[in-house]
Amino acid sequence: MRSLFYLCAALAVMALAFWAYRENYATQQALKDVSKLNREISALREAIRMQRAEWAYLNRPERLSELAAVNFDRLGLLPLQSEQFARPENLPMPPVDLPDVTDAVDVMAATAEEEAQP
Amino acid sequence: MIRTPLRPLARILPARARGENPDVIERENIRLRHETMRERARERAQGRLVLLALGFCAGFAAVGARMAVLAASEPTEPRSAPATAQIQAQRADIVDRNGRVLATNLATHALYAHPQDMVDPVRAARELARIFPDLDAEKLQAQFTGESKFVWVRRKISPEQRQEVHEIGEPGLLFGTREMRLYPNGRLAAHVLGGAGFGQEGVHSAEVIGTAGLEKALDGRLRGLEDPAELGRPLTLSLDLTVQAVVMEVLGAGMKLLNAKGAAAIIMDARTGEIVSMVSLPDFDPNDRPRPPTSGEPSDSPLFNRAVQGVYELGSVMKIFPVAQALELGLVNPDTKVNTKGPMTLGRFKVRDFRNYGPELSVTQVIVKSSNIGTARIMSEIGPVRQQAFLSTLGFLEPIPLEMVEASGGKPLLPRKWGDIASATISYGHGLSATPLHAAVGYAAMVNGGYLVRPTLLKGDAPAQGPRVISQKTSDQIRVMLRQVVTEGTARMADVPGYMVGGKTGTADKLKPNGGGYYKDKVMANFAGAFPMNDPAYVIVVSLDEPVETSGSEPRRTAGWTAVPVTSEIIRRVAPLLGLRPVIEPAPSVALTRARN
């Protein structure tokens, strides 16, 4: 009886020691992962800063206006004019009583009717 | 346990036989027994004391050892803590009012050398001179082979240059990390931002400190000296990047077209004092800030911020202030007739007008036609004491505070003796020199309903309203006058359809630098005004240094031909960008006739 108790105690000690060591190594590994991730995060932050700076550099008004001038044939961009302001009531508004979009053909027919009306 | 008997028969019997008292023997034995017992107890107590002492010693030793370990060890971040936000930034970013980056930091490297670790200093010097053409191989070689143990080679190098230096393969060449201030927009807002440079330098890092402009004035905020949490938050300026770019472009083109030496423009929110755009030309690249000039006029340097530091006579721009004061004091109303018969004699001075405007003009016409005589006559009613007090409330006697170190350089030049003559000349803008920023602040108070504004470069959260300087009624009358200057007066070219520009021109002959009066052919052409005049949102001041308009038969220098067209083009381009909807002006001005009855 007594020897069985000793055997159990010894086994329990071994099992606990095994568990404790495993936890210890797992913790160390987790800490290593954390510091690796932290390094990665700061490297990525640095990269984001760099790209923000580059974005700002590539979007500087001087360059954009040059690009607009160079690509005028394709884009036809001109400075904003006061005539380009409009009032909301002057904008064409979609008709109010459209049916639900359940069937595309119905909707097309309905909008065509709507447009046909003066 | 063996007990020693107290009355051993072996001794009792012989003692009895000798006739002695056997109790003596018993007492003797009791004494001996007690002695041994006491001895044992003492030893036990002593042992316990020693044990206790050892325990205390161990405790103190443990505490002491822990303290020693803590004191001697390197401090480390707790490794399991989550990464805190952006602790690596040394200096906060600066962004415009819409969040676009005006200044940020970039990680870069500095190159230094440990000559004692060098394998082949001669080759290293040669290779470095090849990579950096501005370095001198001979000089580097002398440094590398000399006594010194540490040599700075370059403060900032690019990643490509760093790779090339790596490829030399010299162990004595080392890199230190650096944060570099970067202004991605180059010259844009250069004067506002100023510049930054390295402060205290170490091998592994260097302080980045502001050297001029806003970077220097708000250095503490940008470096998070008061609150480190501010490092992560960018500083938001009131400037609008797009507006700034357009103003710079138009002003630059105008300056070139009119052969001007320099130019400045300020666009300021008339109610809050937020400066939306501030341009001074010629300008510079803050990424590569030129050294301050050691000789010559400071105003010739591109570092000179004309908008804030350029103290010049503003000319007729100033005329609105005596008129506003006279209206406020109830001395005149807009239709009061003023004697403008010239020339007007003041002591040994004669005040003349640009041309003869007849015997009398109404107060409104004095402003519209810009009559010196008329303004001087109005001023004579007010007197120098009240004039000085009024200009003082508007801030014309002190530098205007602004978040830039250069702001203190804008100290107005005042007359030595502020008598009747000085008072008259100041009324039409001569004898008192101030900056375009002074004009902007003064005009904001004139048109925004009479409140003084405090100009700022920072985007504010709450509308800031200063003390009232003129009444709402006076401000309304002033607005009508300034609008008429544009519709029928000296600034007709300033009209921009839909934006109801109003303002006043001013052409001031430049003073010769060492006294001796005025130049005949060098002027400062100014325009100060606001738009849209029915509800002024922005104040604009444009100033050109020595402009000449040469399209006509003879050169024209007045502001109406120089500063005014430039202003009109700026407003035409900028007003839509500021989100102002063009207003169709009410036909024969319903709102504008109100004040004229």
DSSP assignments along A39-105, one per residue: HHHHHHHHHHHHHHHHHHHHT-HHHHHHHHHHTHHHH------GGG---GGGSPPPPS-PPPTT-HH
Share of chain B above pLDDT 70, in %: 95
Mean pLDDT of B519-531: 90
Check A82 against B89: CB less than 8 A apart.
no
CA distance B277 to B243: 6
CA distance B486 to B533: 11
Q: Which of B100, B240, B585 to mutate to test the interface with A (most CBs of A within 10 A)?
A: B100
Query: Which member of A42, A65, A82 has the closest CB to residue B88?
Result: A42
How many C-beta atoms surround the C-beta of residue B181 within 10 A?
Answer: 24
Nearest chain A Cα to B571, which residue?
Answer: A82
B85 pLDDT higher than 50 = no
DSSP, collapsed to helix, strand or coil, labels residue A15 as helix
Mean pLDDT of B532-540: 92
Check A46 against B88: CB less than 8 A apart.
yes
In chain B, positions 232-251, which contact chain A (CB-CB < 8 Å)?
241-242, 244-246, 249
Residues of A in contact with B244 (CB under 8 A): 61
For residue B541, what are the contacts with CB-CB under 8 A and spacing of at least 6? B264, B265, B266, B307, B436, B437, B439, B440, B443, B526, B527, B528, B529
DSSP, collapsed to helix, strand or coil, labels residue B93 as coil
Element (H, E) at B207: strand B206-212
Domain boundaries, chain B: 94-236, 241-574
Q: Residue B79 has what pLDDT?
A: 58
Query: Which member of A41, A62, A83 has the closest CB to residue B245?
Result: A62
DSSP secondary-structure letter at B261? S
CA distance B258 to B260: 5
B471 part of contact set with chain A, CB < 8 Å: no
Confidence of residue A25 (pLDDT cuts 50, 70, 90): very high
Check B185 against A56: CB less than 8 A apart.
yes
CA distance A84 to B576: 9
Is-same-fold flag (B94-236; B241-574)?
A: no
DSSP secondary-structure letter at B589? -
Q: Residue B278 has what pLDDT?
A: 94
Position B402, amino acid? L
Per-residue CA distances from B354 to B376, B404, B432, B564 (Å): 14, 38, 20, 17
DSSP, collapsed to helix, strand or coil, labels residue B97 as coil
Confidence of residue B472 (pLDDT cuts 50, 70, 90): very high
Per-residue CA distances from B115 to B128, B136, B140, B161 (Å): 14, 16, 10, 20
Instruction: Determine the distance in angstroms separating the CA of A53 from the nearest CA of chain B, rounded to an integer.
Output: 7
A28 part of contact set with chain B, CB < 8 Å: no
Instruction: Determine the distance in angstroms separating the CA of A49 from the nearest CA of chain B, rounded to an integer.
Output: 7
Check B83 against A50: CB less than 8 A apart.
no
DSSP secondary-structure letter at B551? S
Residue pair B482/B532 in contact by the 8 Å Cβ criterion: no
> Rounded mean pLDDT of chain A?
86
Q: What is the DSSP string of B388-432?
A: HHHHHHTTTTSPPP-SSGGGGG-PPB--SS-SHHHHHHHHTT-S-
For residue A42, what are the contacts with CB-CB under 8 A and spacing of at least 6? B83, B88
Query: Which member of B184, B241, B249 has the closest CB to residue A57?
Result: B184
Nearest chain B Cα to A86, which residue?
Answer: B581
A65 part of contact set with chain B, CB < 8 Å: yes
Q: What is the DSSP string of B178-203?
A: EEEEE-TTTTTTHHHH-EEEEEEE-S
Q: What pLDDT, in 10s, does the model give residues A76-112?
A: 888 888 888 877 777 887 767 766 777 777 777 777 7
Query: Which member of B188, B249, B575 has the closest CB to residue A60?
Result: B188
CA distance A105 to B152: 76
- CATH number for the domain formed by residue range(s) B94-236: 3.90.1310.10
Check B80 against A30: CB less than 8 A apart.
yes
> Rounded mean pLDDT of chain B?
86
Position B159, amino acid? P
Mean pLDDT of B558-587: 86
A13 pLDDT higher than 60 = yes
Q: Residue B590 has what pLDDT?
A: 45
Q: What pLDDT, in 10s, does the model give residues A42-64?
A: 889 888 888 988 999 999 998 99
Q: Residue B594 has what pLDDT?
A: 45
Instruction: Determine the distance in angstroms separating the CA of A116 from the nearest CA of chain B, rounded to an integer.
Output: 34
Residue pair B174/B113 in contact by the 8 Å Cβ criterion: yes
Instruction: Determine the distance in angstroms separating the CA of B47 from the nearest CA of chain A, rounded to an integer.
Output: 35
Residue pair B176/B110 in contact by the 8 Å Cβ criterion: yes
Check A49 against B575: CB less than 8 A apart.
no
Strand B344-346 relative to strand B349-351: parallel, antiparallel, unpaired?
Answer: antiparallel
Check A45 against B86: CB less than 8 A apart.
yes
Mean pLDDT of B29-37: 92
Residue B201 φ then ψ, to 5°: -115, 130
CA distance B284 to B264: 14
Q: How far is CA B363 from the centre of its chain?
A: 41
B79 part of contact set with chain A, CB < 8 Å: yes
B285 part of contact set with chain A, CB < 8 Å: no
Instruction: Determine the distance in angstroms separating the CA of B480 from the nearest CA of chain A, rounded to an integer.
Output: 23
Q: What pLDDT, in 10s, does the model give residues B128-175?
A: 888 888 888 888 888 888 888 888 888 888 888 889 888 888 888 888
Confidence of residue B597 (pLDDT cuts 50, 70, 90): very low
Share of chain B above pLDDT 90, in %: 37
A52 part of contact set with chain B, CB < 8 Å: yes
Nearest chain A Cα to B87, which residue?
Answer: A42
B250 pLDDT higher than 90 = yes
A63 part of contact set with chain B, CB < 8 Å: no
ipTM of the complex: 0.71
Residue B572 φ then ψ, to 5°: -60, -40
Tokens of B338: 């003023």
Q: Residue B530 has what pLDDT?
A: 94
What topology is assigned to B241-574 in CATH?
Answer: Beta-lactamase (3.40.710)
B291 pLDDT higher than 50 = yes
Residues of A in contact with B104 (CB under 8 A): 49, 52-53, 56
CA distance B455 to B400: 8
Residues of B in contact with A61 (CB under 8 A): 185, 188, 241-242, 244-246
For residue B67, what are the contacts with CB-CB under 8 A and spacing of at least 6? none
B593 pLDDT higher than 50 = no
